[in-house]
Structure 1
Amino acid sequence: MKIQRIAAEATTEAAPDEVWALLSDRSTWPSWSPLGSHSSERPGEGGAPDGLGGIAQFVTGRHCVREEIVEREPPRRLSYTLLSGLPLRDYRAVVELTPAGTGTRIRWSASFLPGRPGTGWIYRLALTRIFRGMVTGLATAALARR
């Protein structure tokens, strides 16, 4: 099976620290994204809910996904892997925040293998749409918090 890659980008006038404040707190994600409810399953390093190794669940419609934070470089980069909830393998998402003038460029990308042959394009399409909602929602919410 072929590795699938997706990405979405947006730019906001909010500074990287302002964007990071929302991105690094997964409990805020449902308020600015297409995701449904959030719950923390296991805290990460230092007992922080969204620290390295922290596991969270997101329930959207009939889907419940579990994700683990595998990389944190404040205020530049956050990476997580999918533990369960979608028929995908080796799923890893990376959110990169890059200064853009006085604002921030947000890039949300992922790679994965489909769980079944012939389904990669479906998940690529659906997840790209979700990622577009994530980056535009994050960009808008970070600016609104100023």
Structure 2
Amino acid sequence: MPRRLRSVDLDFVESAPLRLVFAAEVSAPPEVVYRALADDVAGWPSWFTSVTAARPTEDGAGREVRLKGGTVLRETIIAAEPGERYVYRVDESNAPGLRALLEEWRLTPAGTGTQVQWTFAADASAPFRFALRLGRPGVGRAFRDAVHNLDRLLTGPAA
């Protein structure tokens, strides 16, 4: 059953009790990466294997994302800066112990490609925070695999 989470603003990306930050590079330029993140929400499962379904909601102002294991996230996009960053807040989730969640995707030119930095900023119960800290290597691996898959999708022969 989805629960309403605490509404947070952009400053939560820096002030959250739990922050996981990961970065990787892709060959595609920032504008192309941004379009894959923000404009092709339904395409996320093709490169981020933890995502089983994603769809824009509220005429593109929100998203509904389903993850492996059955977690459902209903989100509001709070910053959309083409070629630079894409930020969304989770408003509802069925994840137990989660109180607030904001994710920021920051894109920075890196040579002819892009450095992609993902910040997972959360407030949650002590057991949730402990589990996430313990699972940090797996979350990082999932991020790196996703960015690698995105890079192949954006720069492969069919791109």
Q: Does the 8 Å contact 1:9/1:135 carry over to 2?
A: no
The equivalent residue for 2:63 is 55
Task: Report deviation, 1:119.
Answer: 2.7
Picking from 107, 110, 119, the partner of 1:109 is: 119
Picking from 110, 127, 131, the partner of 2:143 is: 131
Q: Aligned partners of 1:8, 1:97: CA distance in 2, in Å?
A: 12
Gaps of 5+ in 2: 1-15
Task: Report deviation, 1:122.
Answer: 1.1
Q: Give the CA RMSD over aligned residues.
A: 2.1
Q: Does the 8 Å contact 1:20/1:74 carry over to 2?
A: yes
Q: Aligned partners of 2:52, 2:27: CA distance in 1, in Å?
A: 26
Cα-to-partner distance string for 1:10-61 (whole Å, 9 max, x where unaligned): 1111111221121112111111002111233x32xxx3x3xxx323232423
TM-score norm. by structure 2 comes to 0.74
Q: Aligned partners of 1:132, 1:78: CA distance in 2, in Å?
A: 18
Picking from 71, 88, 91, the partner of 2:79 is: 71
- The number of residues matched between the two structures is 136
The aligned amino acid for 2:63 is I
Task: Report deviation, 1:67.
Answer: 1.9
1:17-96 equivalence runs, <5 A: 17-24=31-38, 25-34=40-49, 35-40=51-56, 42-43=57-58, 47=59, 49=60, 53-83=61-91, 84-86=93-95, 87-96=97-106
Q: Aligned partners of 1:129, 1:5: CA distance in 2, in Å?
A: 16
Task: Report deviation, 1:65.
Answer: 1.9
Evaluate the alpha carbon distance shift between residue 85 and residue 132 of structure 1 in structure 2; reply closer, same or farther with a 3 A threshold.
farther
Evaluate the alpha carbon distance shift between residue 133 and residue 82 of structure 1 in structure 2; reply closer, same or farther with a 3 A threshold.
farther
SS at match of 2:127: coil
- What is the identity percentage for the equivalent residue pairs of Structure 1 and Structure 2? 28
SS at match of 1:118: helix
Q: Aligned partners of 1:26, 1:5: CA distance in 2, in Å?
A: 24
SS at match of 2:126: coil
The answer to which of 66-75 and 130-139 deviates more is: 130-139
Picking from 99, 122, 136, the partner of 2:131 is: 122
The equivalent residue for 2:21 is 7
Q: Aligned partners of 1:100, 1:5: CA distance in 2, in Å?
A: 24
SS at match of 1:33: coil
